[in-house]
Chains A and B, each alone.
Chain A
Amino acid sequence: MSDFLMPKLGADMTAGTLVAWRKRVGDPIRRGDIVAEVDTDKGIIDIESFSDGILEALLVEPGTSVPVGTPLARIQAAGETAATVRPASQSPAPGSPTSPASQPAPVTGPSPALISQAELARLRISPSARQRARELGVDPRELTGTGRGGAITREDVERAAAARIVPASQASSSQTPTPAVAPPVPAGVPAAANAPPPPAERTLRMRQAIAAAMARANREIPHYYLSTTIDLHAALQWLTRQNEDRPVTGRLLYGVLLLKAAALALREVPELNAFWQDDRPVRQESIHLGVAISLRGGGLIAPALHNADRKSLDELMHDLRDLVARVRTGGIRSSELADPTITVTSLGEQGVEGVYGVIYPPQVALVGWGRVVERPWCVAGQVVPRPLITATLAGDHRATDGHRGSVYLAAVERLLQQPEQL
């Protein structure tokens, strides 16, 4: 059995508010499945499971704010028998700070959200009706059975689902519809508990989260900065030829070439792909690029493009489009916020030629891209106009030295001269 915890989605997060359950008690859970939605300073995030099993009990009700590390639900590993239900108020909250505001809200009394496996077993309900109830997000305990001996039938479930009124705030299309997953909020939960805060408050909260992370970075991380000018002639020529033959939906942005080069170069200087933890650098095996994406209302987040070094340009383009769309409309996953091993920022589109970033702890480096500018450049003794870009590296001097940083930027430059191999 494992606990499904309020995750820590970045160095600055201390607590989160459960918005909705996306799974019901009794649902099979696979690692990576979205189990809940949590409201954080970075917006509403889809929280994924780290383990396989059956969802055994929900410990926190939607609308409740709890500290990072608080158990939200219990997942029974495959093959395990249902554990004795222990009251949620006795669940330890590992790592939770002691301030009163951050104590987990005690969950008292029965609640529609808290249905144990054992309780379900006592209900007279056919397996097919139970399955249907899960699909439709109906709590079978609230139903009066019309079947033999008062058993709840499939029809009872469907009737209840049809009668349920979905509050308008939940009927919006802010989340990707996923068939076979229960509706986000169980019937009977007041919509007010799930209403997102007004935009101004959300913007302020994001500002405060950025403030906390960046102040910590400037306080703790001794940054060094490197910069180099890269000729993008070969890369852009290759890209133009590629895009001529592609339908509009298959076209690549030059930013994808930059991302791939930044990821591949990390293989050559892996100490930049690391976290600074417990007074030492800890190298990360996978390369997850945190891509800084500005929000139209202000603020930014940098969710991960997972395994960017192993993806083709087409895959990266697809994933980047998907990520940008989800940053703007909702549906960012917990792993995407928690995983980035290095951040890449591209302020060139706003017109600046270079950006010297602040590292996002516990990462130890940040790659910055400026604007592409056409300038005179010497090629084989001739001055020719060339599209140039300034690549920068902000490095954590505790983890690496400028020498390794310069080897990294040199690798990025070399990789961009052979775009067909990216």
Chain B
Amino acid sequence: MNEVQIRETVLHVLGAIAPEADLSQLNPEARLRDQLDIDSMDFLNFVIGLHDELHVDIPEKDYGQLATLAGCVQYLIAAMGRPGSRRAE
């Protein structure tokens, strides 16, 4: 999966959590929490959504790296390339 596909997947999962948001206006460098009014339950559902779509189990200590869209994409590229990551493919 390449960067564009990962970004699309992240936006898809976010869209399910904040269906009213216009994700095309998202600033990739700004915090998702501030832009989308995401609470801790939404964030947990976001992490679960990424897990379901990409088969990556993100430990809680890494949550800080998912604060922005750009951060999410970078983190997921690295996580999916790691040996032992729980990719289904």
Chain A contact residues, CB within 8 Å of chain B: 240, 243-244, 247-249, 251, 253-255, 294, 296-297, 320-321, 324-325, 349
Contacts and interface: CB of A to CB of B under 8 A. Distances in A.
8 contacts: A248-B44, A253-B41, A253-B44, A296-B18, A296-B19, A296-B20, A296-B37, A321-B45
A255 B40 contact: yes
Interface string B35-52: 001011100110110010
Interface of chain A: mostly helix, strand, loop or mixed: helix
Interface string B44-64: 110110010000011111000
Contacts of A243: 60
Given A247-B57, A349-B40, 10 more contacts: A244-B59, A244-B60, A248-B47, A249-B51, A251-B60, A294-B39, A296-B19, A321-B44, A324-B41, A349-B39
Interface of B: 18-20, 37, 39-41, 44-45, 47-48, 51, 57-61
A294 B38 CA distance: 11
Contact of B44 (A240, A244, A251, A297): A251
Contacts of B19: 296
The 7 A-B pairs of least Cβ separation, nearest first, read: A349-B39, A248-B51, A243-B60, A324-B41, A253-B40, A248-B47, A248-B48
B31 to A, nearest CB: 13
Nearest to A239: B60
A249 B37 CA distance: 22
A249 B50 CA distance: 11
A255 B42 CA distance: 13
Nearest to B20: A296
Contacts of A248: 44, 47-48, 51, 57-58
Given A240-B60, A296-B20, A320 B41 contact: yes
Contacts of A254: 40
A251 B58 CA distance: 11
Nearest to B37: A296
Q: Which of A248, A249, A324, A349 lies at the interface centre, i.e. has the most chain B CB atoms within 10 A of its CB?
A: A248
Contacts of B59: 244
Nearest to A329: B19
Contacts of A325: 45
A262 B7 CA distance: 40
Contacts of B44: 248, 251, 253, 321
B29 to A, nearest CB: 21
Nearest to A328: B19
Contacts of A294: 39
Nearest to B40: A253
A253 to B, nearest CB: 5
A297 B60 contact: no
B48 A249 contact: yes
